[in-house]
Amino acid sequence: MRYSDYKKVLKKHHLRITDSRIDVLERFYNTIHALSFKDLEDQLEGYDRVTLYRTLNSFIDQGIIHRIPNDTGSACYGICFETCTPEQHYHNHIHFKCIKCGYIDCLPDTHIPLIDLPGYEIIDSNLIINGICKDCKKNAN
């Protein structure tokens, strides 16, 4: 993806073209893992922390990225595949968190099984699977 493509993504999601948005977007498109705030902060020196937080929030609001629940306390963010709009996030892929390398990956070809919960109204669901990823299994021996 090139600068002009990132611009298109931002335009499509009704966001102004700014340096930090282009750079953050580039990080998401060129990283196979989900990114934490800290990842972005380390990789994008020069921007104020506040700017990065606001950039992430604008992306979430506009359906460019989604927040991935995490029991460690610090949120992670994954890029949304084609389906999300400013009106609603539509993704129900599984997230995998590797306990060795710590990376969280979106598994785009998976989907969370439908669950029937009588009496409850289900809006969406998050499935995070913990385990050991392919790379870490390979490197184990």
Nearer to DNA, 38 or 111 (CB): 38
Three-state DSSP at 52 gives helix
What lies within 8 Å, CB to CB, of 104 at 6+ separation is 33, 34, 68, 70, 76, 78, 95, 96, 97, 98, 128
Quick one: which of 5, 48, 124, 135 contacts DNA (CB under 7 A)?
48
Residue pointed to by tokens 């020196």? 45
Q: How far is the CB of 49 from a copy of itself (least distance, A)?
A: 15
Q: How far is the CB of 66 from a copy of itself (least distance, A)?
A: 9
Evaluate whether 56 touches 77 at the Cβ level (below 8 Å). Answer: yes
4 near a copy of itself (CB under 8 A) = no
30 near a copy of itself (CB under 8 A) = no
User: Which of DNA, a copy of itself, none lies near 33, with the C-beta cut-off 5 to 8 A by kind?
Assistant: none
Quick one: which of 20, 31, 92, 110 contacts DNA (CB under 7 A)?
20
Distance CA 128, CA 70 (A): 8
Q: How far apart are the first and last CA of the chain?
A: 36
55 near DNA (CB under 7 A) = yes
Quick one: which of 45, 74, 87, 141 contacts a copy of itself (CB under 8 A)?
74
Distance CA 95, CA 67 (A): 11
Quick one: which of 75, 112, 128, 136 contacts DNA (CB under 7 A)?
75
